[in-house]
Amino acid sequence: MTEQPHSAARAFDIQLAERAEVTDSLLCVGLDPVRGRMPLGIPDNAAGVVEFCSSLIEATEDLALAYKPNLAFFLAYGADGLDALYAVRKRIPNDIPMILDCKVGDVGSTAQAYASAWFDELGADAITVHPYLGEDSLEPFLARPGKGVIVLAKTSNAGSGDLQDKPITGDQRPVYHYIAGRAAAWDAAYPASVGLVVGATWPDQLRSIREIAPDLPILLPGVGAQGGDVAASVRAGLRPDGTGLLCSSSRGIMYASAGADFADAARGAAIRFRDEINAARLTNIA
């Protein structure tokens, strides 16, 4: 691992910063098209997924810091679902970062294949990864100039503590602290931009992670349907300049209505969530 200076090649960081300034928003809109849950008038097939997600993007594109399609929900529609993911990717404007939530992490040539699939073929600006297999499993992603690599640290699910909260052998730090420290080191050493996934369901843990990794962008799932405390998490995870978070909501926006007015309802939910985030930001900005 060789030290590399931060530069203009770190396009994902620049893209986030520019987008946050233009929109005054930290809202990351998740695209999780649940099979069997299409709104009224949308067919429950891959073509319907494209129509559904495209309408949501059109309704929220002036509000979104980023979009985050979740790979699993597209794969649930089979081979056509993968085609739908590519079609939805094309609907996202180029100036809005697209994060593929795929949580990959594997050794050697397998990791390289994932990097080629999602960065080169799909054109994702960033992906989520898990660090369980170690640094060499992430190197094919970290070595990509301009891309974002968002590492799972403290996830939003109730069972995350089974592994993530355990103390490291010979050290009282929980695993998620160690991961945050390693992610900060990777960010300094590799040309990709490194971030962290920390659930909004854990604001105290988020605060401690922000102390360890003061500069990294943090993807914050778990708000909305998962019950995360928006205000507490935003205050815990913001950088001093009022940025550094991607506050993700999927179902709370996508399924604000099951009727034909789903796009208008999604826009209304996105505005409310953005405004709730911004209200919490104001209490932190000096």
CATH of the domain at 174: 3.20.20.70
SS3 state at 274: helix
In a domain, 1, yes or no: no
In a domain, 175, yes or no: yes
In a domain, 3, yes or no: no
Q: 203-212 and 230-237 are packed helices; what angle lies between their axes, rounded to 10 degrees?
A: 10
In a domain, 263, yes or no: yes
Question: Rounded mean pLDDT of the chain?
Answer: 92
**Domain interval for residue 30:** 11-281
**Number of folded domains that form the chain:** 1
Say what the pTM is: 0.94
In a domain, 227, yes or no: yes
Give me the pLDDT at residue 282, please. Answer: 87
Query: Is residue 103 among the annotated active site residues?
Result: yes
In a domain, 130, yes or no: yes
In a domain, 5, yes or no: no
Catalytic-labelled residue, pool 68, 103, 154, 166: 103
Average pLDDT over residues 12-39: 96
Confidence of residue 184 (pLDDT cuts 50, 70, 90): very high
Check whether 1 has a pLDDT greater than 80.
no
